[in-house]
Structure 1
Amino acid sequence: MGHSSKKKKKGGGGGGRRSKGRSQSKDNSFNADDNELLAEEITALNAIFQEDCKIVSDSPPQIIIKLRPYSKDMGYEDLDVSALLSVRCLPGYPDKCPRLQITPEKGLTKCDADNLLSLLNDQVKDD
C-alpha cells in the first residue's frame, strides 16, 4: 500500500515527540502534529454525528455533540431524550484526556448526566 506518498512521522509510541517544536510550550497551543490529528478526528466526528456535532472553538479545540438515542429498531424513537457532550481537547492531546462535560437537555436529570459522565471517564481511563 503506497506508504511513500504521505510521510507521517510517528515517534515511537509518543515518547519521542515531546522535544521537537515545543519551544513555546508555555502558551497552551497545539503543535502541527497534534493539530493534524485533531482535524482528522473532528472530521470523523462530523461524519458520524453530522448536524449533531458543532465545533465551538478551534484553539483550544472544543466540540459539542448532541447525544440522543440513535437506534430506531429498538423502539427508542419515541424516547425524547438528549444531552450535550462538550469535549475540550487540552494541549498535550492525545496523551492527555480531553475534558468532558455533559449537559442534560430533554428527559435527563443532572444525576443521569453525571452517571453518563462517569461511565465515559471510565472508558477513557481503560485505554
Structure 2
Amino acid sequence: DVRQEVAAVASVYGDDCHVVCGFPPHVVVHVRPRTADDSSQQFVELFLGIKASSQYPKEPPHVYAVESKGLDENRQTYLVSSIQNKAKELSCYPMLVTLCEEAVEILSNMNHPAGDCPLCLYPLVQEDKDGSALPFMKLMSCYHCFHSDCIMRWWEWLQNDDTDSKKSSTAVTTEVIHASEGLDLSSSAKHHNVSQHKGLCPVCRKVFDEKDIEHVRDLLGANTSKLVC
C-alpha cells in the first residue's frame, strides 16, 4: 500500500521528513551524508523532493531539489539526475525509502569541499610546500567554504570598513546637532546610532555567526590573534 510506504519514510527519517501528501505520495526529506553526526565533517546537505502521480509505482516519481547547501549547480544536477534514473530502474516497485538512501549514499561520496576559494580563486584543497593541506573552513549558515586565512583577511577588512563607516556617521551626526542648536529635534535624531554590522557570507549574503570566526581562530592560532572582530 502506497500510504504505508509514505508512513515508512516518515518513520525512518522522523523530523527530517515532511509529508506533503499521502496519496499520491509527495514527500520532502532533509538528506545528509553519513558523517552528519559530526557537524564539522559535514559539507553538503539536500532537501530532496519526491512527488509521484496516482500511477505510482508503475510510473516513477519526479525527483527534485528543494534546497541544498555545499552543492554547486553541477553536483546538484548530477545528484538529482542519478536519483531520477534510480527511480526509473525501480518502476513498479516500492522505492521511496530506497531513493532517499541513494541520496544519502551519493551525498556521502560528495561530502567534501569542491572548486576554488571564492575569495582568492585558488583551489580549496591544495598542498603547500610541505605537502600538507592548507586549512579551510565552512560557514555553518550556508556551507560555503573558504581558505581560513582568506576569510579572516576578508573579515578584518569588513570590520575596518564598518569602523570607518561608524566614524563617518558619527561626524555627520555631530555636525547636525551643532547646526541645530536651539531647535527642537527628536531624541532619535540627536542620539543617532549605527547598528553593528553583521557578517554576511561573501558568496550568498546569508548572515553567519561569531562562532564561525572563532573556528577560524582555532585553526590558525597565533597567526590570527592580532585580527580584531
Pair member with larger Rg: 2
Q: Does 1:98 align with 2:67?
A: no
User: How far did residue 76 of structure 1 move?
Assistant: 7.5
What is the one-letter code of the residue matched to 2:34? Y
> Contact 1:57–1:63 (CA<8 Å) still a contact in 2?
yes
Aligned-residue offset at 1:49: 1.0
The 2-side partners of 1:95 and 1:108 are apart by 31
Q: Specify every segment of 5 or more residues in structure 2 that has no aligned partner in the other structure, as ranges.
A: 91-229
Unaligned runs of 5+ in 1: 1-36
Q: Is the alpha carbon distance of 1:67 and 1:113 closer, same or farther for their aligned partners in structure 2, counting shifts above 3 Å?
A: same
1:62 pairs with 2:29: no
Determine whether 1:85 maps to 2:51.
no
- Indicate which of 110, 115, 119 corresponds to 2:78: 115
Residues in 2 aligned to 1:59 and 1:44: alpha-carbon distance in whole angstroms? 14
Verify the 8 A CA contact 1:103 1:113 in the aligned structure 2: no
**What residue number does 2:7 align with?**
43
Output the CA distance in 2 between the equivalents of 1:58 and 1:90: 11
Superposed CA deviations along residues 29-51 of structure 1, whole A, max 9, x for unmatched, are xxxxxxxx121111111121111
Runs of 4+ in 1 over 6 A off after TM superposition: none
The structural deviation recorded for 1:59 is 5.0
Instruction: Check 1:77–1:96 CA distance in 2 against 1; reply closer, same or farther (3 A cut).
Output: farther
The answer (yes or no) to whether the contact 2:18–2:29 under 8 Å persists in 1 is yes
Secondary structure at 2:69 match in 1: coil
Change over 3 Å in CA distance of 1:113–1:104 after alignment to 2: farther
Query: Larger strand proportion, structure 1 or 2?
Result: 1
- What is the alpha-carbon root mean square deviation over aligned residues? 2.2
In the alignment of these two chains, the number of paired residues is: 90
For 1:79 and 1:72, locate their aligned partners in 2 and report how far apart those are by CA, in whole Å: 6
Indicate the percent of aligned positions where both proteins have the same amino acid. Answer: 23
State the secondary structure of the residue aligned to 1:105: strand
SS in structure 1 of the partner of residue 63 of structure 2: strand
TM-score normalised to structure 2 length: 0.35
CA contact (8 A) 2:26 2:51 kept: yes
